[in-house]
Amino acid sequence: MKYRNTILVFFAAFLFSTFSMAQTGNIRGHVYDDATGEPVIFANVVVDGTTFGTNTNESGLFTLTAVPLGNYKLKVSYIGYEDILIDVEFKATSINYYKVNITASGVNLGVVDISAQRQVARTEVRISEIQVSKKEIKALPSTGGDADILQYLQVLPGVISTGDQGGQLYIRGGSPVQNKILLDGLTIYNPFHSIGFYSSFETELIRNVDVLTGAFNAEHGGRISAVIDISTREGNKKRFGGQVSASPFMVKGLFEGPLAKLKDDQGSLSLVLTTKRSIIESTSKDLYNYAAVNDSIGLPFSFNDTYGKLSFVTANGSSFNFFGFNFDDSYNNPLVARIDWTNSGGGLNFSLLPATSNLNLNGLVGFSQYETSIIEADEDPRESVIREYVLGLDFNYFFNNAQLDYGIEVKSIRTEFEFTNPFGVSLNQFQNTTEVSGFLKFRQSWDKLVIEPGFRMQYYASLGEFSPEPRLGLKYNITDATRFKLAAGLYSQNLIAASNERDVVNLFNGFLSGPDNQFDGYDGEPVDSKLQKAAHVVVGVEQDMGDHFELNVEAYVKDFSQLVVINRNKTNRGQSDYSTEEGEAYGIDFTLKYKKKNLYVWGTYSLGKVTRFDGEQEYPTIFDRRHNVNLLATYTFGHNNDWMVSARWNFGTGFPFTKTQGFYTDISFLDGVNTDYLTQNPENVGIIYSDERNGGRLPSYHRLDISVQKNIEFSKYMNAEIVLSASNTYNRDNIFYFDRLRFERVDQLPIIPALAVRFNF
């Protein structure tokens, strides 16, 4: 009898729930900039006179669920735009879609909308996650006269850069190969140019950047440290226009416009093309000859980037984007080496909004390729190629105060790698592998608590290994101004770096898949799993201090339980090509922001420690910077804020390095006991390193960058931007590396003034 009563109770509850859902309705829509048709991110959307509200996401999409049936006024607001009220209707039988166009107020209100960010912070976990807009990127001092996402990433807490050349990023204890960088969903393996000021990504095309420095949730995988997810915007849906610009570093152009204009009751078809080409290799011979290699070479950096996108948006908000890119880079110094690399690819991403369902479908079909090669005077050439084909489907389901995300992804990856170590032993790998992953993430919010449990399953076909990876994110609003947050997860990856981590600077960044054959770990025992694995834990506090200050504190631990590395000490073909290490990274990051009227000040301090254990000794990594400080200030003034002055100061303690003990003639013993060392006449000189790995420290690094920008309006759609900038303003001699064989100190770039002009039409 008691079971019968229980069944009746559950049946009654189900009927009540079904009846309640039938008495409510849902709507969704997009918020667009009326002048360009560009989606407005994080706009506030509220059912007027009620407590029902939400914010637009990274695509400008909003969804309101479980609102009582009837007709209402919907209020949409965002800083810098006029508020708007529109009529909406919540129905039980269908989900109405609304296209909302909001008009700019005509007043430049500064760089950051703190009020909008605070509202999102109260309802989203977003721990170890920083969202970056184009406007924030352009608020930085424009090194070389051109603002770039790489310059912004170098300011973020927990992010370490090697400096002016090479551009590699180390994020909370992870090396570059452990960071996944996505462009519209496709993996970009090395998007940073050899001169460490710029990336391959065009700032004017960026819609949003998500920087996940650790403990990211289940929608991302395949890397064990961090994720940088970059999404680009569509072309202008209302009119044709563009931009041309020139500086001593590069020239670039952008053209965009509608092939079919966006209208209230119709969709749109738009196009955007952008290209940039470096000229610093030529201009430096005259303008920066004091920093050049010599009078004939100049600064040995060159790059050429091209990106294009064709976008179709339907009347009900569904979208289809066809895109392609090619990014070329070269470092050509006859005294050292020639290094070339290329990123290329393209694909289709789409978003479908079914008219009768709360379900959104997002998909990606694409291809990405990375090729690199190096030719050194006294070394054998090295080459690396990686090709990746990807198919992914993600689903988002919205219901009352909750969201369910799930998806599947299939990748086919081919790696090609050719390398000869100092002992003359070759390592050649040509491998095909398949990775299949699926994820599930649920978000539920209450009055004070937001919780995001997730689970990801990775399958590595070449290894025959499954990797179950639980994830968790949580935020508790202690008060409206104080929030506690926590995140944790397990992570894995199969990709291995081919670069040499003994040196701080290494422009050759090759990749190869993890070994599918059995090999021994650092303890001499066969490894049980060939995957690289890590566990993350992050805890933090957000504090709003009055109307103008924000403080964010996060402490983190990353435990790298297994790292697979190339065995560079292999002296004969019978030894394993690979070995393993363990690692640990932990630290604490502080971020303080101040925003009032036209002044924006941002300060970060990071305290961290990163170590590895190779079976013989525990040692600091080459990117173990104990203290790192960034101070940024931006001030706008003048008529309609048409002047902007910005400055950034960075301080970092010195990187570790392994000391030199001596030198030897590099004789190959590939023939074993039959080697006649008396008749060999080797040309190469080998280096004897200290037994204490990374036992020395380079000097501290600090640099001040400043820029002044003036905007000149000619008409509604035509204006010019003039930027005067200086990098390393007080001409600090920051060490780049020490040439052990020539016994010479090589410094990073000296003071680099620049004048850039941009014309928008």
CATH of the domain at 100: 2.60.40.1120
Q: Would you state the pLDDT for residue 500?
A: 60
- Asked, for residue 745, whether it belongs to a domain, the answer is yes
DSSP 82: -
Enumerate the β-bridge partners of residue 191: none
Please give the order of strands across the beta sheet that includes 61-68: 61-68, 24-33, 96-102
pLDDT tier at 11 (50, 70, 90 boundaries)? very low
Over residues 639-663, the mean pLDDT reads: 92
Are residues 91 and 161 both part of a single domain? no
- Asked, for residue 517, whether it belongs to a domain, the answer is yes
Are residues 163 and 98 both part of a single domain? no
Q: Would you state the pLDDT for residue 566?
A: 77
Are residues 87 and 140 both part of a single domain? no
- Asked, for residue 96, whether it belongs to a domain, the answer is yes
Q: Would you state the pLDDT for residue 235?
A: 95
The 3-state secondary structure of 11-45 reads HHHHHHHHHHHHCEEEEEEEEEECCCCCECCCCEE
pLDDT beyond 80 at 32: yes
Is pLDDT larger for residue 737 or for residue 360? 360
The answer to whether the beta carbons of residues 116 and 136 sit under 8 Å apart is: no
- Asked, for residue 455, whether it belongs to a domain, the answer is yes
In this structure, how many other beta carbons lie within 10 angstroms of the beta carbon of residue 420?
A: 14
- Asked, for residue 416, whether it belongs to a domain, the answer is yes
Report helix, strand or coil for 673.
helix
Handedness of CA 110, 305, 158, 746 (dihedral sign): negative
State pLDDT tens for residues 236-259.
Answer: 999 999 999 999 999 999 999 999
DSSP 5: H
Are residues 328 and 187 both part of a single domain? yes
Task: Quote the tokens at residue 745.
Answer: 């100190």
Are residues 578 and 641 both part of a single domain? yes
Are residues 310 and 359 both part of a single domain? yes
Report helix, strand or coil for 674.
helix
State pLDDT tens for residues 421-461.
Answer: 656 666 777 889 999 999 999 999 888 999 999 999 999 99
pLDDT beyond 50 at 19: no
In this structure, how many other beta carbons lie within 10 angstroms of the beta carbon of residue 116?
A: 17
- Asked, for residue 17, whether it belongs to a domain, the answer is no
- Asked, for residue 686, whether it belongs to a domain, the answer is no
DSSP 641: G
The position carrying tokens 């970009």 is 188
Are residues 96 and 133 both part of a single domain? no
Are residues 75 and 156 both part of a single domain? no
- Asked, for residue 570, whether it belongs to a domain, the answer is yes
The tally of domains found in the chain comes to 2
Are residues 609 and 550 both part of a single domain? yes
CATH of the domain at 563: 2.40.170.20
pLDDT tier at 332 (50, 70, 90 boundaries)? confident
Which of 43, 73, 107 terminates a domain? The answer is: 107
* Kind plus residue range of the DSSP H or E element containing 326: strand 319-333
* Kind plus residue range of the DSSP H or E element containing 285: helix 280-287
One-letter amino acid at 685 equals: V
Among candidate residues 589, 595, 488, 702, the one with its CA nearest the CA of residue 130:
589
Among candidate residues 214, 223, 228, the one with its CA nearest the CA of residue 585:
214
pLDDT tier at 505 (50, 70, 90 boundaries)? low
Task: Quote the tokens at residue 376.
Answer: 């050194």
Domain residues for 73? 22-107
Are residues 60 and 140 both part of a single domain? no
Are residues 167 and 80 both part of a single domain? no
State pLDDT tens for residues 70-88.
Answer: 999 999 998 889 999 999 9
Q: Would you state the pLDDT for residue 483?
A: 96
pLDDT beyond 70 at 676: no
Are residues 529 and 395 both part of a single domain? yes
State pLDDT tens for residues 514-553.
Answer: 777 777 777 777 888 889 999 999 999 999 998 899 999 9
